[in-house]
Chains A and B, each alone.
Chain A
């Protein structure tokens, strides 16, 4: 089906961070399916931005921490905190410059699915490697991703697999594996969790020996376990396979991706249809996402502009679209935190609740304040500030070159709430569109 300008705008807003008029027109030459295929084909597996080298070395000292004085430990802690900020800035740099925004949207999705936080994990290098892993499999096979993430050192530390011993099983990972990663509540029992936890005993991270995954046979419980109706002397990987065999798993993932990319009202019949395909097709994420993005529901007029932009989407989208100058991307990490999304530090294992929960009295005020500063503030080199003849002109050229209707069509997903001035001053118009409540939507 051929696309309109509005269709292409919608697709770019939902699969990336929005598009300039040129991006939109370029995509609008294709029909819907071809456009979806092009975006999927553009998804990469690695980041273009090189990580800060000190972050890669941010691992525990080989000789351990025991011999360190209080001051040395404090200094190390401070260093790690700074490295974590560098890491957050690194991701923002990639978000701002990636040629495939969908790659990053998927990586953000998986970061919010397979959560881990710097607060708990404490070693920035491990979180960097987890991010690399998530991006590598972002549009690959969910099966591969699940098998890898279960052994990912940051995850092992985050959900206490590290302290899951034969004599003292820790259920944290097993619980979240079923509840949050694969099945969803109501599709397993407490006994399933206890039994599954035993299967993961002995999995750990050699924290002082390079920080890689290791298996400690002596801490492993080799006995028979009963999990989700299956019985055997299971190891951890058997449990992952058993979870993937459950129809609930495909359904849970399909519904979650629906909420991320389509709307917050998944259609049960369509979810079921796509979930069956997903499971039968070997959990190929690309196939599922293609199915979601070609649904009539995705393109329906009533689905346009019904999702709230996450803080990262708001910040990155606005900067990319309006070409705002950003000197230091670690600043964006701080802004994201103020808006309620501190990358690499989700609030808990459930991740950011998202949706309308992004908008509270505090975050809405902060969103507007930051947008205003981005456009008008001297500190952020806002185009409206420099526009007043105070130095170099910033901001995207299309703002002044395109017709007023195009500018509004690009910035507003649905008709603006407030009256928008259509006078000579194009940046004044942009300002009103950006400050309109509808700019918070995608």
Chain B
């Protein structure tokens, strides 16, 4: 989406962001806290359960080829990263990042007592809960409740793509869901800025959301209006467009701590090969373009991308040339502050549990990395102290 349209649109908005905001007065006093939140997290959800074994391929393991006579990636096409594992060939656009050591691959990410339901498993990931524990609020929502962002931030998180709040669902977290900024600004332009509150709690909530909306829209429009155009061309895939929007927002210096993008279609039960190849290609091209845009904007050191997905897929292929819901899978960290390389270890194909991989790294360690290392909140209890940050950030 097209900055020119945005600009055109922003120009037609009421000038509500020009009104002085009381928050501006607080900006100076909250400056020390700001340092932490200068670092941005981009969550990349691979919705549907990404097939880890065909993403980071154990190409030297004969059992992989035995388990997947139709789906295995041929040895000669694997982009070898180590003597035992390599990337799916469709991830070629990520190789420059790997060579620059800005891509960390955490192997065997999962959790004990894995749940194979999409809905339940993504809820576990979103809320950082144990398998049998039901929590109401997303892990980032709880983090921002305990460590609020400066009030100068018009919103805590921006959700791109079609999915719900996920890790950013909660009672106090402020999010803006955008399918595209232009549409959002257009819708929001009809919304009046409100000052009132109410003793009626439901009404007070609506007025609060309305306030956040107009605040965020004003902020967004103001920033987008001043932003230089992106030099990078993004691929036209859905994930490419979302990453393009994310790059626009960041280049425009919209203050935000988290942007969540979401790629759908990973539930590859049937006819997986071509479909999965296309998804990985779109992902890799989108990420490579995003990196280029961030480098140009001088922001690459300040963003950390992390992939996540509800589960990996089973080791053996099914009768429909696809794979069913499984357990552990690799996940990626990318960014200018990432120490590239392989982390964790590849789950053994020799030691399966009911045909599934045994996880090696608890997914909560990824969150610990974000919270304790990236945002430097070592004392957070959103995940327990047993989940140590992975030493993959510079």
A437 touches B203 (CB 8 A): yes
Q: A70-B320, A120-B119 are in contact. Are A364 and B201 (CB under 8 A)?
A: no
Q: Size band of the A side of the interface?
A: 35 or more
Query: Are A364 and B210 neighbours in the complex by a CB distance under 8 Å?
Result: yes
Q: A369 to B187, Cβ gap below 8 A?
A: yes
Interface members, chain B 302-326 (any A CB < 8 Å):
319-321
A-contacting 9-mer, from B89-97, B98-106, B190-198, B241-249:
B190-198
B200 is contacted by which of A73, A306, A348 (Cβ under 8 Å)?
A: A306
Q: Which residue of B lies closest to A168 (CB)?
A: B354
Give residues in A with beta carbon < 8 Å to B.
66, 70, 73-74, 117, 119-120, 179, 190, 264, 305-308, 340, 347-350, 353, 355-357, 359-362, 364-366, 368-369, 372, 414, 417-418, 437-438, 440-441
- Would you mind naming 12 contact pairs between A and B with Cβ atoms under 8 Å apart? A70-B320, A70-B321, A120-B119, A340-B164, A348-B123, A349-B120, A353-B136, A361-B216, A365-B188, A365-B213, A414-B200, A438-B203
B254: Cβ under 8 A from any A Cβ: no
Partner of A437, one of B136, B174, B207, B271: B207
Contacts of B144 in A (CB 8 A): none
Residue contact B270 to A70, C-beta cutoff 8 Å: yes
Partner of A368, one of B120, B136, B176, B191: B191
From residue B156, how far is it (CB to closest CB) to chain A in Å? 11
- Whether A359 contacts B203 in the complex (CB less than 8 A), given A353-B136, A437-B210, comes out as no
Interface pair A359/B209, CB less than 8 Å apart: yes
Contact of A361 among B120, B175, B319 (CB under 8 A): B175
User: Complex Cα distance A305/B194, Å?
Assistant: 19
The reply on B11 being an interface residue by CB < 8 A is: no
Instruction: Determine the distance from Cα of A307 to Cα of B196 in the docked complex, in whole angstroms.
Output: 19
| B177 x A361 contact (CB < 8 A) | yes
Partner of A306, one of B120, B174, B175, B201: B201
Contacts of B188 in A (CB 8 A): 365
- Indicate if the CB atoms of A361 and B209 lie closer than 8 Å: yes
Q: Let me know if B176 and A356 touch, CB within 8 A.
A: no
Instruction: Select the residue from A66, A361, A418 with max chain B CB neighbours within 10 A.
Output: A361
Tell me if B187 and A441 are in contact (CB < 8 A).
no
Residue of B nearest to A438 (CB): B203
Complex: A357 Cα to B202 Cα, angstroms: 10
Q: What distance in Å separates the Cβ of B146 from its nearest Cβ neighbour in chain A?
A: 20
**16 other contacts beyond A306-B201, A308-B205, A372-B190, with CB at 8 A cut-off?**
A73-B270, A117-B119, A120-B119, A305-B203, A307-B202, A348-B120, A349-B120, A357-B171, A360-B165, A360-B209, A361-B155, A361-B212, A362-B159, A364-B210, A368-B187, A437-B207
Considering the complex, which residues of chain B in the window 110-158 have a beta carbon less than 8 Å from any beta carbon of chain A?
117-120, 123, 132, 134, 136, 155
A350 CA / B120 CA spacing, docked (Å): 11
A441 (CB) vs chain B CBs: closest residue: B202
- Tell me, in angstroms, the Cα distance from A244 to B200 when the chains sit together: 36
Contact A119–B209 (Cβ < 8 Å): no
Highest count of chain B CB atoms <10 Å: which of A347, A365, A414: A365
Q: Lowest 6 CB-CB distances: which A-B pairs, in order? A: A362-B177, A356-B205, A365-B187, A437-B206, A361-B213, A348-B119
Q: Cβ of A418 and Cβ of B321 under 8 Å apart?
A: no
Give the CA-CA distance A70 to B177 in the complex, in Å: 36
B210 to chain A: which residues have CB within 8 Å? 364, 437
List the B side residues contacting A305 at CB < 8 Å: 200, 202-203
Report yes or no: B191 in contact with A365, Cβ–Cβ below 8 A.
yes
A308 to B198, CA, bound (A): 14
Q: Is B65 an interface residue (CB 8 A)?
A: no
In contact, A359 and B206 (Cβ under 8 angstroms): yes
Task: Give Cα distance in the complex from A441 to B201, angstroms.
Answer: 11
State whether the Cβ of B184 lies closer than 8 Å to any Cβ in chain A.
Answer: yes
Which residues of chain B are within 8 angstroms of A308 by Cβ–Cβ distance? 202, 205-206
CB distance from B320 to the nearest CB of A (A): 5
Q: How far is the CA of A407 from the CA of B164 in the complex (A)?
A: 36
- When distances are taken between beta carbons in the complex, the residues of chain B under 8 Å from A438 are 203
How far apart are the CA atoms of A417 and B196 in the complex, in Å? 8
Closest to A117 in B: B119
Q: Which residue of chain B has its CB nearest to the CB of A74?
A: B270
Q: State whether B206 touches A306 (Cβ < 8 A).
A: no
Interchain CA distance A264-B209 in the complex, whole Å: 19
CA distance A414 to B207 in the complex (A): 14
* Closest CB in chain B relative to A110 CB, distance in Å: 20
Which residues in B have their C-beta under 8 angstroms from that of A190? 132
Contact A356 B119 (CB under 8 A): no
- On chain B, the residues within 8 Å of A369 by CB distance are 187, 190
Q: Is the CB of A350 within 8 A of B270?
A: no
Taking the closest CB of chain B, its distance from the CB of A369, in whole angstroms, is 5
Given contacts A70-B271, A365-B188, contact A360 B177 (CB under 8 A): yes
Q: Which of A264, A347, A417 has the most CB atoms of chain B within a 10 A radius of its CB?
A: A417
Give the distance in Å from the alpha carbon of A204 to the alpha carbon of B318 in the complex: 24
- Taking a contact as CB atoms closer than 8 A, the residue among B134, B174, B319 that contacts A350 in the complex is B134
Q: Which residues of A contact B201 (CB under 8 A)?
A: 264, 306, 356
* Contacting residues, chain A, for B120 (C-beta < 8 A): 348-349
A437 contact set on B, CB distance < 8 A: 194, 203, 206-207, 210
CA A306 to CA B200, docked complex, whole Å = 6
Chain B residue, CB-CB nearest to A440: B206
Query: Cα distance A350–B135 when bound, in Å?
Result: 11
* Chain B nearest CB, measured from A126 CB (Å): 18
Chain B residue nearest in CB terms to A355 = B202
B202 lies within 8 A of A347 (CB): no
Contact of B202 among A306, A365, A372 (CB under 8 A): A306
Q: Which single residue of chain B is at the shortest CB-CB distance from A369? A: B187
A346 closest partner in B (C-beta): B119
| A366 closest partner in B (C-beta) | B187
